[in-house]
Amino acid sequence: MTIKTLQDLLSEGVEGRGVLVRSDLNVPLDFPVSSDPQAVASGGVITDPGRIIASAPTIKALAEAGAKVVVTAHLGRPKGEPDPKLSLAPVAARLAEELGRNVQLAGDVVGQDALARSEGLTDGDVLLLENIRFDPRETSKDDAQRAKLAAALVELVGDDGAFVSDGFGVVHRKQASVFDVAKLLPHYAGGLVAAETEVLKKLTEQSERPYAVVLGGSKVSDKLAVIEALAPKVDTLVIGGGMCFTFLAAQGLSVGGSLLQAEMIDTCKDLLDKYADVIHLPRDIVVADKFAADAESKVVPANEIPDGWMGLDIGPESTARFGALLTEAKTVFWNGPMGVFEFEQFAAGTRGVAEAIVVATGKGAFTVVGGGDSAAAVRSLGLPDDGFSHISTGGGASLEYLEGKELPGIAVLEEDTVED
């Protein structure tokens, strides 16, 4: 079934109606060192507003059309109870800047303050509920508990309300504000979710060759399913980051003190045997004597990592070799940094790979950055957003889609019935 979209809802008319929007506003925060409890309670400083910027158009379109917009979102991983450090207060302020209008912040999720504020909304107003994960029912495995929270969310927009799913970064989660609420209200895909889904469909169904995939990050186990799903379909699979050391160990090499998943070595051997012509591993490594920004470092061949030293980036030869493969590709998907890019001396591999993808984009390739740390790297390294065809807001959701898994938050939007 075709999923109804934001444009369908706007065509039906939203003036005077309550609309619940599930956004992904889970932005990284930096907390200044302070012993003042009030400073902590005021929230951190947003270091990458990308998800807020991406979420704003859907909210703005609804507000400008006269809807009473109630936004729900999470921040971080609170343990089912309020945590001042994870309040959405700084998010509300930044969202207001993007929208060019006031954003109220409720003092709770679905409590008295949220209810009172929602009842006082006028056409075009925007209310952001406090961190949805402050309520343990949001992530409960108990269907009945999630359903109760979903019903409370519906109460905030009324029986004639609507639900817009626009948090692509959470559509792979079966959670109250993502899945259960869609069963209780007429539901629509927001602009962001619709765009993200179209991009991933293009990657899986209409990709031009050569097709290159770049995978990094720390653990092979986190990317195993996507490797198995994509390796038979792509021309080049570049592997860097911490996960490359388990592959190097599978080739019989010593990796010193580098990150290693010993239990995955046999799996990596099988993958290397099966896809020897597709998988590309680093030939040189930047190693360090400790995990720190000021560590002593040197470049060594991948087969000469010294005992007691750890690999924290791919080396310059590998960066150049990977770059040559990527600049000639017509389709590129990138998920995961090549090294510890947060430390300047270990950022060159990630920067080099990213710059090669930018070159490919300039030559007409369709290039996708798969959210998470890759998106953070693009911005922290000062690379242009428009150097890529698309920067996803959902790393985990992107990977699960490419693995061929059903995403609960998308599947529920395909249902045309609403429960009483």
List residues with catalytic annotation. 51, 219, 372, 396
Q: Dihedral of CA 352/317/212/326: which sign? A: positive
**Looking at residue 305, what DSSP letter applies?**
P
The distance of Cα 46 from the centroid of its chain, to the nearest Å, equals 16
Closest C-alpha among 168, 258, 271, 277 to residue 221: 271
Residue 82 DSSP one-character state:
-
Strand partners, 319: none
Task: Check if the beta carbon of residue 180 is closer than 8 Å to that of residue 140.
Answer: no
Cβ 131 vs Cβ 78: under 8 Å:
yes
Three-state DSSP class for residue 245: helix
- Burial of 209 (C-beta count, 10 Å sphere; 0-12/13-18/19+): exposed
In 3-state terms the chain splits into helix, strand, coil percentages (rounded to 5) of 40, 15, 40
How many C-beta atoms lie closer than 10 Å to residue 235's C-beta? 17
Distances in Å between the Cα of 69 and the Cα atoms of 23, 51, 178 are: 12, 18, 16
